[in-house]
Amino acid sequence: MRVSRLAVALVMALPLVTASTSAGPSPERTPIALTSVLPAVAEATPDPGDDFRITSGTTITGDADIGGQLAAILRPATGFALPISTGPAENSIRLGREPGHGAEGYRLTVRRDGVELLATERAGLFNGVQTLRQLLPAAIEADSPRRAKWIIPGGTINDRPRYAYRGTMLDLARHFHSPGEIRTHIDRIARFKINHLHLHLSDDQGWRIQIDAWPRLTEVGGAPGTGVGGDGGGFLTKQDYRDLVRYAADRNVTIVPEIDMPGHVNAAQTAYPELTCDRVAPRPRTDMRVGYSTLCVREEITYRFVEDVIRELAEMTPGPYLHIGGDESFATPHGSYLAFQRRVLPLVEKYGKIPYGWHEIGQSPAAARSVLQFWGRERNHPSVATAVAAGAKLIMSPANRTYLDMEYDRLTPGGLDWAGAIEVSTAYGWDPATLLPGIPEASILGVEAPLWSETLRTEDDIEFLAFPRLVAIAEIGWSPRATHDWPSFRARLGAYGPRWVRDGLRFHRSPEIPWS
């Protein structure tokens, strides 16, 4: 019911959105401010006398890979040929490498006679291009050339991330999203320098990734009708998954796969009753309850299953992390939960991956070399603090700040409300470094905004709940704390709105934001 209300509200909102912002910038328009970027850049020194104008004679030089991506953005928008060459050239946008910018940082220098983007790694060049596209007029997103006004504001940007991990999550288990929908989402998140996409691939309702050793997981658990409320169904083949990994990597996004266990396993058990202690297949479940299923911790077959899944998942995942869930295992006795983690956490390392799990895995002493995803609220969590003191790292996903499946307010359609309503200012108004008492900042790898999919079905549903809140989380993760400033953020976000409109993205037009 919530889903259809969401769809209706989106359709009704659309003409309004388009009408208010379709005029486009005038040719006389002054350049966009160097400081207008989302997420905020670390340092910007504007030099208004030194604007650069892209013309029919402009070339792109240096790195052919990211230079090619830049050309693919600029050519259709400007109508200019913008050839890519390797040598130095006047009137060029040059992409080069130099040491000193870290894994993802870059320096962008804009002068009247040329633009230079320098980074140490490919990721830094990619990030610099995301900045550059925001410095060009919003019409860059449209396909009609208006040649006169391709001005890049003069000055210098020095930029690098506060945290190495800036993520979001899609839940494919409650409602499956197709590879095409996932690719579209990757395009949209990468604009804001989000560099990890966590895929929640299994839960009580469905199993969404092919595992060769256990084929019934997807035959049964990925069948039609395995979404919440009996919707949809579907799964990723290994080929789909590998293609997504590559597509994401081109856009500086690392895929983080999750198989949730020992709870949230009803779909696996309907396919393989031998994974239950009584060997009786449970009935398929497409309701929204949690915490009722558990693997049978005392049986060896459980560990053969878990090892096969971890091995096959690790084989197709080049990224460092493998997420093993571990949340809400209310049907697993505490001692059994610890026994399970003692065997399973080392299995992840056996296949060359860093064990990653919801913060409950921190109850296990075996979690000292793991990453914990904190999804609680601001208060003391003794088992999290103990695990961190023993060496575990943290990704911050406080539910009352980062959960993209929470409703914006009482009136917006879609979403749940157990962690409260989350408007943009709530998503923006916190600091990962001070959220939990006694956690040193060096133990925090970054932030992630999960989007659980109980109430969402379509691409529009994803976008409405993710945007604009995900941009607030992206800024929390990327920008230095010194830049944190709500008035500045809301102004920059408001100015970004026309780009989403031109892109056809159905975002929430939050009343907190002064949309252009």
Active site residues: 328
- Answer yes or no whether residue 328 interacts with ligand TNX by CB under 6 A: yes
Give 155 or 414: the residue with its C-beta nearer to ligand TNX.
414
- Answer yes or no whether residue 176 interacts with ligand TNX by CB under 6 A: no
- Measured CA to CA, the distance from residue 95 to residue 71 in angstroms comes to 12
Q: By rule CB under 6 A, what string of x and - marks binding of each residue 331-370 to ligand TNX?
A: ---------------------------x------------
Strand order in the sheet with 59-62: 43-46, 155-159, 106-111, 114-119, 92-97, 59-62, 84-85
* Interaction residues for ligand TNX, span 365-384 (CB under 6 A): 375
Q: How far is the CB of 20 from ligand TNX (least distance, A)?
A: 32
Give 105 or 398: the residue with its C-beta nearer to ligand TNX.
398
Tell me how many residues contact ligand TNX (CB under 6 A).
10
Q: How far is the CB of 451 from ligand TNX (least distance, A)?
A: 9
In terms of Cα–Cα distance, which of 492, 449, 424, 488 is closest to 134? 492
- Answer yes or no whether residue 290 interacts with ligand TNX by CB under 6 A: yes
Give 152 or 173: the residue with its C-beta nearer to ligand TNX.
173
Give 207 or 403: the residue with its C-beta nearer to ligand TNX.
403
Give 292 or 303: the residue with its C-beta nearer to ligand TNX.
292
In terms of Cα–Cα distance, which of 217, 246, 218 is closest to 316? 246
Q: How far is the CB of 259 from ligand TNX (least distance, A)?
A: 13
CA distances from 470 to 252, 261, 350, 402, 418 (A): 17, 27, 34, 8, 19
Give 290 or 491: the residue with its C-beta nearer to ligand TNX.
290
Choose which of 51, 240, 327, 503 interacts with ligand TNX (CB under 6 A): 327
- Answer yes or no whether residue 64 interacts with ligand TNX by CB under 6 A: no
Angle at 5 between CA 4 and CA 7, to 5 degrees: 65
- Answer yes or no whether residue 416 interacts with ligand TNX by CB under 6 A: yes
Q: How far is the CB of 457 from ligand TNX (least distance, A)?
A: 15
Q: Is the peptide bond before 25 cis (omega within 30 degrees of 0)?
A: no
CA dihedral 348, 350, 351, 352 (to 10 degrees): 90
Q: How far is the CB of 261 from ligand TNX (least distance, A)?
A: 13
Please tell me the number of Cα atoms within 13 Å of 454 on its side-chain side.
17
User: To 10 degrees, what angle do helices 64-78 and 122-135 make?
Assistant: 20
- Answer yes or no whether residue 452 interacts with ligand TNX by CB under 6 A: yes
Choose which of 141, 405, 407, 460 interacts with ligand TNX (CB under 6 A): 405
- Measured CA to CA, the distance from residue 426 to residue 402 in angstroms comes to 9
Tokens describing residue 30: 């002054």
Q: How far is the CB of 287 from ligand TNX (least distance, A)?
A: 12
- Answer yes or no whether residue 249 interacts with ligand TNX by CB under 6 A: no
DSSP conformation letters of 199-230 = EE-B-SS-B-B--TTSTHHHHHHTSTT-SGGG
In terms of Cα–Cα distance, which of 168, 83, 66, 61 is closest to 121? 66
- Measured CA to CA, the distance from residue 25 to residue 151 in angstroms comes to 12
Residues found near ligand TNX in the complex (CB under 6 A)? 290, 327-328, 358, 375, 403, 405, 416, 452, 454
